[in-house]
Amino acid sequence: MSFARKLFANLKNAVRNREGFPAFERSAEEQYIQMLLTNSLGSTFYADRQQLLAEAAELHADMALRNPQWMAQAIVFARREGFMRLQPIYGLAVLSAHRPDLFARIFDQVVLIPPDLADFLTVLEGLGRGQGGRAVKRQVARFLNGLTEYWAVKYNGRGRGYSLGDAIATAHPKPADLRQQALFRYLRGLEANLALLPQVEALERLKRAAGEAEQLACIERGQLPFETVTGALKPTPAVWEALLRQMPAFALLRHLNALTRAGVFDKRENVAYAVARLTDRDALRKARILPFRFAAAYREIEHPQLREALRQAVDLTFDNLPELGGRTAIFLDVSGSMEGGYLQTGSIFALALYKQTSGNTIFWLFDTEVTDVRPSREASILGQAERIRAGGGTDAGAPLRKLQRERKVVDRIVMITDEQQNSGSAFYQELKAYRSSVNPEVQAFIVDMAPYRQALVPQEDRRTFYIYGWSDTVLAYMAQAAQGFDSLLERVATIDVEEAQPSAAVSAQER
C-alpha cells in the first residue's frame, strides 16, 4: 500500500462524536432535520446553549443556500408534525432573507400564535434584519388581521419583548372594521371603545375589581384565560377554582401543582373534574402534549388520584399507534449523558413501543452493561419509566453483542439514545456482524434524542432508519417505515408547502 493510501484511506471515517469515539456523518439535510426536531437551544450534557445556538445558525444558513425548497418543507414538518417551535421559527427568519417567496408560503404554517410572532420578530432583530422588509411586514400584517379578543387578552404582554402592540406598530395592518380598529388601538395602549370588545372590557374591569365576587363575575363574563387572570391579580382559592373549569388540557397539566397548593383539590368534585379532563382521549389528542410534560407533572404531584390520572393520560396518548408485526428488540440507552429529559422521554417512548409490539419483544437497558428488565404490558408507562435510572458510560455495541451470543432472531432493532458512544465495540460494526451471522434482513431504527451531529451508522446503510424528535409521531413513523417507508428525509420531501394548512394542534403550541 502506498504512503498516500495509508495516510488518506480512512479520512472519510475520521468523524468523532463528543466523546472522541469514531462515528459517522449524516447528510446536511439529515443534520438539519435532526437539529429542527431535537435542538430546543437549552444546554445539554455535551454542549451549552451558546454552542447549540452557533451550530443552529450554521445549519440554517447552510441549508438556505444549499436547498431552500427542502428547508421550507423541513421547517413546516418540524412545526406541524414534530411540534417543535423555536428552531422552526429561527429557520423561518433565516429563509425570509434568502427566499422571500418560500418564506411567504410557509409563514402561517410556522407562526401559529402570538408568542410565535414575538419570537420571530426577536430572531429577526437578532439577525440584524430590523423589521425584515416588505415581504415580512406583509405576512405579519396578515397574521395581525386575524387577531381575536382571546389572543389579545392572553398574549398582550406589553413590556416583555415584542408585544402585539409593537407588532402592529411595525406592520401597520389595516383594520377591517370598527371592532378591529378598537382592538388595534387597545393593543397599542391608546384609548379604545371597549364596548366593542366585551372580553377586553371584562379584563379591564377585573384589574379594578373591588373584591372576590366581582373578580369571579369578570372571569366568568369574559371567559378569561388563566394567564391573564394570574397576571392581573393574586388568585384566591375561589379564583383558582373558577380558572380550573376554563383551562385547556395543557394548561391544566402545567398548573396541577399550583392548583394543589391553592387547595383546589381539597374538594372531591374538583379532583373528579381534573381527572376527567386529563383522561379525555379526544382532548389529549387535540392538545398534542409532549410526553416529558406528563413526566414533569408526575414528579411534582403527590395526590394519588391525580398521579393515577397522569399514568392513564400517557397510556392514552400512545394507545392509537399501529402494532408492529414480527419481533422487535428495544435498546434504551441509560448512560450518564442521558440523565434528565432525554431519559425521561426516551423511557416513555421505549415503554410505549414495547406495549405496541406483539410477541416476545426484547427490552434491554444498556450503558457499558446490558440489563434485561422485562417490563409489564399491563402496568402504566409513566409508572415504569419513573423507575429507570441513568449512569455510567456508553457501549452501543453491547446489546448487539448479547443479541449475537444468544442467537436471538429479531425483525427490527430499535435503539433510543443520544449516540455518544465512548467505549466497547462500535454499534455499526456489531450491526454488520449480526446481519452477517443471524439475520441479514434486520431493520435498525436509531431514535436520536439529542442535537449532536455525529451518527452511529453511515448514510449509505439503507436498512437503518434515523428518527429524530420527542413527539408521539416518532412511533407512528416507525410503524410506517417498517411497512416500507424509506426515510424521514423522504417523508419531509412529501410536505406540500404550496397547500399546507395550519396545524390543528394550535392549542398545544404554547410550550
Domain of residue 394, CATH code = 3.40.50.410
**Is 50 exceeded by the pLDDT of residue 502?**
no
Q: Are residues 338 and 365 in the same domain?
A: yes
Q: Are residues 179 and 240 in the same domain?
A: no
Q: What is the pLDDT of residue 506?
A: 44
Count CB-CB contacts under 10 A for residue 195.
8
Q: What is the pLDDT of residue 422?
A: 81
Q: In terms of DSSP bridges, do strands 464-468 and 443-448 run parallel, antiparallel, or are they unpaired?
A: parallel
Tell me the torsion sign for CA atoms 477, 480, 486, 492: negative
Q: What is the pLDDT of residues 43-83, one digit of tens each?
A: 444 456 777 788 888 999 999 999 999 999 999 998 988 87
3-state secondary structure 118-171: HHHHHHHHHCCCCCCCHHHHHHHHHHHCCCCHHHHHHHCCCCCCCCHHHHHHHH
Let me know if 319 is exposed, middle or buried by CB neighbors in 10 A (0-12, 13-18, 19+): middle
**Is 90 exceeded by the pLDDT of residue 9?**
no
**Is 80 exceeded by the pLDDT of residue 499?**
no
Q: H helices within 159-262, ranges in order?
A: 164-171, 178-187, 198-208, 212-222, 226-232, 237-244, 249-254, 256-261
- Residues forming beta bridges with residue 324, ordered by sequence position: 357
Residue 428 placed within a domain: yes
Residue 132 placed within a domain: yes
- Residues forming beta bridges with residue 62, ordered by sequence position: none
Q: Are residues 49 and 174 in the same domain?
A: yes
AA identity, residue 193:
N
Given phi > 0 = left and psi -120 to 50 = alpha, else beta, which region is 245? alpha
Q: What is the pLDDT of residue 89?
A: 95
Q: Are residues 270 and 286 in the same domain?
A: yes
Residue 482 placed within a domain: no
Q: Are residues 78 and 92 in the same domain?
A: yes
Q: Are residues 334 and 457 in the same domain?
A: yes
Q: What is the pLDDT of residue 188?
A: 93
Residue carrying the nine cell digits 397547500: 499
Residue 300 placed within a domain: yes
Residue 488 placed within a domain: no
Q: What is the pLDDT of residue 207?
A: 92
**Is 50 exceeded by the pLDDT of residue 5?**
no
Q: Which residues of 91-118 are buried (b: 16+ CB within 10 A; e: fewer)?
A: bbbbbbbebbebbbbbbebbbbbbbbbb
Tell me what the pLDDT averaged over the chain comes to.
85
441 pLDDT band (50/70/90 cuts)? very high
Q: What is the pLDDT of residue 7?
A: 35
470 pLDDT band (50/70/90 cuts)? low
Residue 312 placed within a domain: yes
**Is 70 exceeded by the pLDDT of residue 145?**
yes
Q: Are residues 34 and 97 in the same domain?
A: yes
CA distance 310 to 43: 27
CA distance 358 to 446: 20
Q: Are residues 146 and 286 in the same domain?
A: no
**Is 70 exceeded by the pLDDT of residue 174?**
yes
Q: What is the pLDDT of residues 240-281, one digit of tens each?
A: 999 998 888 888 998 999 899 999 999 999 999 999 999 998
Q: What is the pLDDT of residue 197?
A: 96
The stretch 362-378 carries a mean pLDDT of 92
Q: Are residues 132 and 216 in the same domain?
A: no
Comparing 175-184, 357-366, 427-436, which segment has the lowest mean pLDDT?
A: 357-366
CA distance 58 to 182: 43
Nine cell digits for residue 510: 404554547
Contacting residues for 153 by C-beta, under 8 A, at least 6 apart: 199, 200, 203, 222, 224, 225, 228
Q: Are residues 149 and 66 in the same domain?
A: yes
Q: Are residues 335 and 272 in the same domain?
A: no
Number of domains in the chain: 4
Residue carrying the nine cell digits 376527567: 276
Range(s) of the domain holding residue 119: 28-186
Between 184 and 20, residue with greater pLDDT:
184
Residue 77 placed within a domain: yes
433 pLDDT band (50/70/90 cuts)? very high
Name the pTM for this structure: 0.79
Closest CA to 473 of 443, 429, 503, 510: 503
Q: What is the pLDDT of residue 41?
A: 55
Q: What is the pLDDT of residues 476-494, one digit of tens each?
A: 666 666 555 556 778 788 8
372 pLDDT band (50/70/90 cuts)? very high
Q: What is the pLDDT of residue 389?
A: 92
Q: Are residues 47 and 179 in the same domain?
A: yes
Where is the domain boundary, 275, 302, 320?
A: 320
Comparing 10-14, 37-41, 223-227, which segment has the lowest mean pLDDT?
A: 10-14
Q: What is the pLDDT of residue 136?
A: 94
Residue 350 placed within a domain: yes
425 pLDDT band (50/70/90 cuts)? confident
